[in-house]
Each structure stands twice: as structure tokens, then as C-alpha cells.
Structure 1
Amino acid sequence: MLKFSYHLFFPLILLINTSVFTQTSEEKINNLTEEINQLDQQKEQLYQKLETYKLTKLREDLYKYGLPKANDNEEIIHHAAMSLVYSEPHEQAKWVAHIILPDIINGKTGRTNDFREDSLVKTGSATEIDYFLKTKKEDGNYEYDGFGYDRGHLAPSADFRWSKKALSESYFYSNMSPQLAEFNREKWGELEDILRGYIYNNPTTQLYVVTGPLLNDTLPKIERSVNKVSIPAYYYKVVMDLTNQKAIGFIMPNQKINYPLNNYAVSIDEVETATGIDFFYQVEDEQENALESQKNITDWLPEKQKNDVQPLYQPDLPKGVYNTIQAKRLMGSNRKVTIAGTVVSSKETRNGHLFLNLDINYPNHIFTIAIWKQNILNFSYNPHDMLLHQTIYVTGKIADFDGIPTMILDNEKAIEIQAKEKYKLVIGDED
């Protein structure tokens, strides 16, 4: 009779058991990678659900406070993160309302450029062929024949970079209006950037924004457009911060703008007068009246721009005196001219040279006075202390310093300090 030897078979049993549970390094990597992929999928699903909840909350807030009052014959079209009233005679929105959320701070969704017709506009919205023609060439590339205007967003796509759905919907043609490139890509874009910057500086609030063109029956059309899209002469934007009880409006001409934004800051009341639209009518009356009368742009500017002032209105100046906007075209003329402006900042370099900026602070400065160290002794006063915040006339030749009109002064005789005056501002004057 054979006897079973436990000691003989134990190593073999142990070997079999450990081989079952032992994994190679490659198998461990593959298994862990699979777990991570599953977690990523779950995370993406949670982010999508979170985005849905945020869009729902946004619409609740927008419908509660952010929509203008529609006329009886107007239909409000609602999308995921913006609402609008479409003007069929002009083939663009009369207004578009949206909210800028603090989520833009960490938003990473980029431009989609998926311009398309808005199917919710029952009469049909504008389309691609209202702005340009596209012809496919033999090599497969496209040749574009533009009609001279950007497809300007009313509610900017960058305001929705936290949501793929909302950002994509901002490319509906119902959210487009024909804007000159030098307007859309410059001053209009600067205004949009400032509002997003406001959120960066105030991350616990959200901005209610309504944007649109000033529409009337006399506007010209894009003649080559199929639907004859109107070309607005002016655009408006109204903004409200309920958390901090601030509001402001802007009316800006559809053209190249040389003046700073504070030239175009108005109260919401003034925009309502210009448009006939009752904007934030759902806000309690007393609060609405207080908000819609405000127009203090310094509340909205980055800290470094808060001391900027508007250049003096050229027609108000004496003959032969130019404002700081005009200085650039006189740069390098090698003749003495007189420039008028307000000294908003000064800087003394480590070498002792003094630079005074008129109207607009560095780094956006548009005209500078330079006084070299050896010439400061020719002044009977300290130029920084005496001239800061003063409106002055300064006479001399204008040199080109890295593209900035700069006047180099030897003594105080070139400077005439002006009495404080209130200068007129006319919206749209860009001579």
C-alpha cells in the first residue's frame, strides 16, 4: 500500500497556487490602464451631467432676471445658454441675452467654427452665403469670396468656453451680425475681453449681458447676400452684476475706433432710449432704476486702466491744437505741433529719465512726453508732481519711439497747463 507523502507534494501545490495569482508586469500595466480608462469614462459622464445641471441653472437665472421684455408680436428663441429675438427684416437678432459665468476661468473648450443656420428661427435665419461665397477648387481646397464683413458674434463664443454645447450653439447665424473686421477684432473684442476680465477679478459673481445692433429701416444691406442682411451702424451691449449691484451700457459705431472704451460707456437707461427695449424689467423696480442709471466704467476696468481718460474732443480744441489720437499721424513730420491731453501717469527710469503718458496709461499708451535727466534741471518745478492729472498743451516735434508718438522736451516753456474744462463727447466721431 502506497503512503501519501504531504511533504513530497507541498512544493508542487504551492507552485501551482502562486502561478495562478502571479501576473507579469505587462499584465499589471494593462489591467491598471483599463481601470483608469473606466474611471476616465465615469469622470467624463459626471462632467457631462454637471454641465447639464449648470446649463439648467443658467437658464433659470436668465429667464428670471436676464431677458428683455419682448413685444407682443415677438417670439423669444431659447437655446442652451442664450436667448434671442430674431428680426426677419434685418436677418439678424434684435437682441441676444446670455450670462457670463465664473466657469470661464477654468473653461478649456476652444473655438468650433461650426457656423450654421438656426433651425429654431421659423422664418429661417441668415446663412453662410449671406456673408461670403465658397468655391471648391480642383485641388480640393476652397476659394473664398467675402462680402467685406466679419460674422460678428453678438454673444461671444469665448463666454461659453466652459460648455461644448453652449459654445457650439453660439455659432448659429442667428447670433451673427455683419461687423467690419477693424471693429469686431479690435475695440469690440476689447470690450468682450474686459467683461471676461471682470469675472476673473470677481469670481463669485455672474454677469447678465444683452447685446444687439441698433436696427432701423434706413440701414443698408449686404447687396450680395441672398437674404439681404442689414448692416448696422451701431451696436449696443448692456451688462448687469446683481451680486455687486453694478451695471453699465455701451453704444459703439461699426467702424475702426481709436478712442478708449470710456468714450462709449453709457447708462442702460440711455441704451433703452436708443433701442426702445426694456432690458432688465424683471428686477425689482427700485433696484432696476438704481442699476440702469449707472455708467461708471472704472468699476469694470482692470486696475491698470482705471486712471485712463478719454482724449479731448478734437472739434472743441483751438485751431492748430491736436488731441492724442491725432498725434500718431503727425509722428515723424519734423515740424512743431501742439498736442492736448491729460497726464495720467509718469515713470522715472533708473537712469533718471522721466516719461509722462497722456490720456492712456502704459502699456496701452498712445502719446508720451520724454524728459531726459539732464533736462529736468531746466524745470522750475518737479514735472511729476506738477503735471500729474493736469490737462496740458505741449508743443514740439513728435518722434517715433517703437510706434508710440513721443515728444522730447528740454524745458517747461513747451508746456501750458490748462484750466479744468468739460469736453464734449460725440459717439461715433472718429476723425
Structure 2
Amino acid sequence: MRKLFILSIILFCFTSSKAQTLSEQIQTFKQEQESLEQKLIITTNELDSLKLLKIIEDLNIVGLPKSDFKDQIITHSAMILGYAEEFEQARWVTHIITPDIVQTSFGRSNDFREDDKVSTGSSKQEDYFLVDTLENGKLEYDGFGYDRGHLAPSADFRWSEKALSESFLYSNMSPQKAEFNRDIWAHLEDALRGYVIKNNTPLYVVTLPILSQDLPKIERGVNKVAIPKQYVKIAIDLKNNRGIAFLLPNASSTSLLTSFTTSIDEIEKLTQIDFFPSLEDELENKLELMTDGKEWIPSDEQQDVEPIAVMSLPKGYFNTNQAKYKVGNNKNVTICGTVVSTKLSGKGNIFINLDRAFPNQVFTVSIFANNVKNFPYKPEEYLKGKTICVTGKVSEFNGTPSMSIENGKSIFLYEKEEE
């Protein structure tokens, strides 16, 4: 009995000692983990700081925009701008979209604020809208009709908290119409980020409003900010030796991005600004003459075409942009466009998209399986790439104007008359 008692005590002590050792080990590992996490944070911050310094260094290597304008040159963490005091906005903003944009570590901060680096004072909130606090504590906004449009877009900096925050400085803002800022302009910004991800290469980007003395101003604003009629984005890819410029009106648009492309050389003539002046002359000249925008837009848009000009169509014929106005009128109409994509479904149905391919389709022709026999050809093969006119009633399917046809008599090839 005594031996059993002693054995029990020894076993208890051994178990307690082992349990204590495991607890100590767990605590040690927790401390080591916390230390490693802290080191990772410090290392990440140091790496981000080095990346930001490299961006500014690289921007200076290719050369800042050069002109005779007496603008204040301001350097921030990941962008450099030339502030034009008389227009109360930047004449240009240059930055680099790096492959780091795949690391969207930080969400949109929306910390709009004045730029203290602008010696004469930058534009500010009261140049775009007023805010009053009502008796019930709610805020009432009195807008002046324009968005605070980013020149260098915030989404290009979401890998760096500091750079992202600085993108909301008012020196990086310009008055843009909402239907422009939130649609075609945003689409262009998305396209350039997509280019960087697809090609795994940095892009040197210069964004600028076209400024001139005759521009209207936001009269209700404190600083009377000028309202540009046009905006430009210039991009060069030094890995693949490509360059492009997009010149867009400050207005709503349903046009393809490629319809706004021009050469950097043309923008230099328009603005009297020399872009990328430090590049070797032969390379600079090559990049600045390029105008082909196909490589710069998303892959699913590269086969898209502009709608047929309304004025070139016969009376009573309509293009794909006009199709949406014919939805539900229960009358036969004729819609014309170019077949850019077709699909034969597993059930034998055929879908034909005019002018814009799936998933950006603007007008779709449907031929259901039981009607395919009424066509003397395979529509999904024969019609692809051809410009056609289709007659029938326009309905809507998943938000897209559509037309269902039953036989080949509803389609004919369209040839523009010689002028």
C-alpha cells in the first residue's frame, strides 16, 4: 500500500512537471510568434518605404514633364505634380502603376484634405460642395455639380497606406462630371491597371487636365477652380517599348476606349509640355509616335467596334446604341451592326452579339434551336465578322436589348453606300 502511494505521488509530480513544461513551451512559441509578426510589420514598412523611394527615383530618371509654365513642382510619396495656381489644380500628375497593385492591402480612405505642400494653398472641399449640420444632427450637402475627380487614381496606390492617403489631397483633384468620372474615366483607369497585371510590368503614367484661359470656373467655390473640357492619360511601358495617350472629353460617353487614343507627340503639341524628356532620344521618339490602343485595353474588348454612324444609315435603320430606345415598343425595327462574337449553346441556341462582345454586349440576336433549320447557312460561323442588319421586335434580356429571329429573311448583309 505504501509503495502504491509513493508511486502515485511520483506519477503526479511527473505529470505536473510535464504539463508545466508544455505550457512554458506554448508560451515561448507565442512570444516568438508575436516577435516574428512584429518583425514582419517592421520589415514590410521598410520595404514599402524603399518601394516609394524607388518610384520617385524612377520618375525622375525618365524625366518630369517639362514646360515654360511657372508651376510649383511638388513631390509626394508616390506621385509628383506640377500645381498651376491660376487654375487651382495640377497641370499634370505623374506616378507609376506597379505590379504591387495586386496587393490591395488597404481600402479607399476618402481622407480628402488640402495639400500643405502647395505654397499658395491648394483647392479644398469648399470648392466642390458645402456641408451644413441640421438641427437633428444630420448633414446636408450642397454640391456644385462636379465630382472631385482623381488625376492619379487612388486604386493605383492601394498597396501603400501612405501613398493611398496622399492620393486624396486636393492637389490631385479636378472637377469632373459625374457621368464621366464614374464611367469612361474609371474604365480607362481599370484598363491601365489590367495592363500592368496582364503584362507584369510597371507603367509610367502622366495624367493632366487640358488647361486654358477660356475655361469656365466653379463660381460658387472659394478658389474658383477651372473646369477642364478634356483630360489626358499618357502611359509608357519600358519593358515592352510601348507608349500611348488617351484624350477624352469631360462628358458621358459610350464610345470604345480605342476611339480616344492619340500619340504622345500630339499631346505635346496640344499642351506645349515635353513628356519623359530624359529618355534616350530614339526611344522617346518611337514611344511618342505610337497610336495603336489595342494592346492597352482588356482582352474581351479588343474585337469590339464602334457602332455604325447614325447619319450613314438609311432612313428607318438604327445602330446598336439606339436599340435600347426601341425596347418594348412591339414594332418591327431594323438594327445594324458588326458581328463581333457568336455562341452556339449546348442546347443548340445561337447568340450573336453586334459591336460589343460578351460580357460587354450592347445588342444580342437570338436564334433558338428549333429555328436554326430555317437558315441556309450556319449563322454562328457565316455571320461572324460581317456587318449585318436584323429586323424584328426589340426586347430586353438581363438588361441587354435583344431580338429573337426565326429565319434567314430577317438578316441581310449591310454595305455602306459610297459617298
Does the TM-score normalized on the shorter chain lie above 0.5? Answer: yes
Does 2:49 match 1:52?
yes
| Counterpart residue type for residue 196 of structure 2 | I
What's the counterpart of residue 206 of structure 1? 202
8 Å contact 1:105–1:200 — kept in the other structure?
A: yes
Does 2:30 match 1:33?
yes
CA–CA distance in structure 1, aligned partners of residues 232 and 69 of structure 2: 23
What's the counterpart of residue 120 of structure 1? 117
Structure 2 residue corresponding to 1:192, chosen from 189, 192, 197: 189
Structure 1 residue corresponding to 2:285, chosen from 284, 289, 292: 289
1:168 aligns to what SS in structure 2? helix
Does 2:246 match 1:263?
no
Structure 2 residue corresponding to 1:277, chosen from 259, 267, 273: 273
1:344-359 equivalence runs, <5 A: 344-359=340-355
| Counterpart residue type for residue 260 of structure 1 | L
1:66 to 1:107, Cα distance in 2 relative to 1, 3 A:
farther
What's the counterpart of residue 147 of structure 1? 144
8 Å contact 1:199–1:206 — kept in the other structure?
A: yes
Does 2:309 match 1:321?
no
CA–CA distance in structure 2, aligned partners of residues 422 and 345 of structure 1: 27
| Counterpart residue type for residue 212 of structure 1 | L
TM-score by length of 1: 0.88
What's the counterpart of residue 406 of structure 2? 410
Q: How far apart are residue 21 of structure 1 and its match?
A: 9.9
CA–CA distance in structure 2, aligned partners of residues 185 and 90 of structure 1: 23
Structure 2 residue corresponding to 1:252, chosen from 248, 252, 257: 248
2:86 aligns to what SS in structure 1? coil
Q: How far apart are residue 19 of structure 1 and its match?
A: 8.7
Structure 1 residue corresponding to 2:91, chosen from 87, 91, 94: 94
What's the counterpart of residue 182 of structure 1? 179
Does 2:201 match 1:222?
no
CA–CA distance in structure 1, aligned partners of residues 384 and 305 of structure 2: 13
Aligned length: 411
CA–CA distance in structure 1, aligned partners of residues 179 and 63 of structure 2: 30
Task: Report the aligned-residue RMSD.
Answer: 2.6
1:253 to 1:356, Cα distance in 2 relative to 1, 3 A:
same
CA–CA distance in structure 2, aligned partners of residues 365 and 19 of structure 1: 71
Deviations 1:56-88 (A, max 9, x none): 111111111152213252332111111111121
Q: How far apart are residue 236 of structure 1 and its match?
A: 0.9
| Counterpart residue type for residue 212 of structure 2 | N
| Counterpart residue type for residue 356 of structure 1 | I
Deviations 1:255-304 (A, max 9, x none): 22112212212222232233232222222222122212222222122322
Q: How far apart are residue 153 of structure 1 and its match?
A: 0.6
Q: How far apart are residue 396 of structure 1 and its match?
A: 2.2
CA–CA distance in structure 2, aligned partners of residues 142 and 66 of structure 1: 45
| Counterpart residue type for residue 38 of structure 1 | S
Indicate the larger mover: 255-264 or 355-364.
255-264
8 Å contact 2:336–2:414 — kept in the other structure?
A: no
CA–CA distance in structure 2, aligned partners of residues 308 and 375 of structure 1: 27
1:129 to 1:369, Cα distance in 2 relative to 1, 3 A:
same
1:305-320 equivalence runs, <5 A: 305-320=301-316
1:58 aligns to what SS in structure 2? helix
1:23 aligns to what SS in structure 2? helix
Q: How far apart are residue 399 of structure 1 and its match?
A: 1.2
Q: How far apart are residue 140 of structure 1 and its match?
A: 4.4
CA–CA distance in structure 2, aligned partners of residues 422 and 131 of structure 1: 50
Q: How far apart are residue 421 of structure 1 and its match?
A: 8.8
CA–CA distance in structure 1, aligned partners of residues 19 and 369 of structure 2: 80
| Counterpart residue type for residue 164 of structure 2 | L
| Counterpart residue type for residue 367 of structure 2 | I
What's the counterpart of residue 3 of structure 2? none
8 Å contact 2:113–2:125 — kept in the other structure?
A: yes
2:96 aligns to what SS in structure 1? strand
Q: How far apart are residue 343 of structure 1 and its match?
A: 0.4
1:334 aligns to what SS in structure 2? coil
CA–CA distance in structure 1, aligned partners of residues 416 and 187 of structure 2: 30
8 Å contact 2:217–2:226 — kept in the other structure?
A: yes
8 Å contact 2:72–2:118 — kept in the other structure?
A: no
TM-score by length of 2: 0.91
Q: How far apart are residue 319 of structure 1 and its match?
A: 3.0
Contiguous gaps of at least 5 residues in structure 1: 1-11, 424-431
What's the counterpart of residue 395 of structure 2? 399
2:234 aligns to what SS in structure 1? strand
CA–CA distance in structure 2, aligned partners of residues 269 and 314 of structure 1: 32
What's the counterpart of residue 61 of structure 2? 64
Deviations 1:304-340 (A, max 9, x none): 2221112223233333322211111122122222222
Q: How far apart are residue 208 of structure 1 and its match?
A: 0.5
8 Å contact 1:83–1:96 — kept in the other structure?
A: yes
CA–CA distance in structure 2, aligned partners of residues 50 and 273 of structure 1: 40
CA–CA distance in structure 1, aligned partners of residues 75 and 113 of structure 2: 16
CA–CA distance in structure 2, aligned partners of residues 315 and 87 of structure 1: 41
1:342 aligns to what SS in structure 2? strand
| Counterpart residue type for residue 122 of structure 2 | S
Structure 1 residue corresponding to 2:367, chosen from 368, 371, 375: 371
1:350 to 1:72, Cα distance in 2 relative to 1, 3 A:
closer
What's the counterpart of residue 239 of structure 1? 235
Contiguous gaps of at least 5 residues in structure 2: 1-8
Deviations 1:99-156 (A, max 9, x none): 0011111231211111111111111110011111122344544322222221111000
Structure 2 residue corresponding to 1:108, chosen from 98, 105, 110: 105
Deviations 1:34-67 (A, max 9, x none): 3322222221111111111111111111111152
Deviations 1:329-386 (A, max 9, x none): 1221222222221100000111211111011111110011111223222222222222
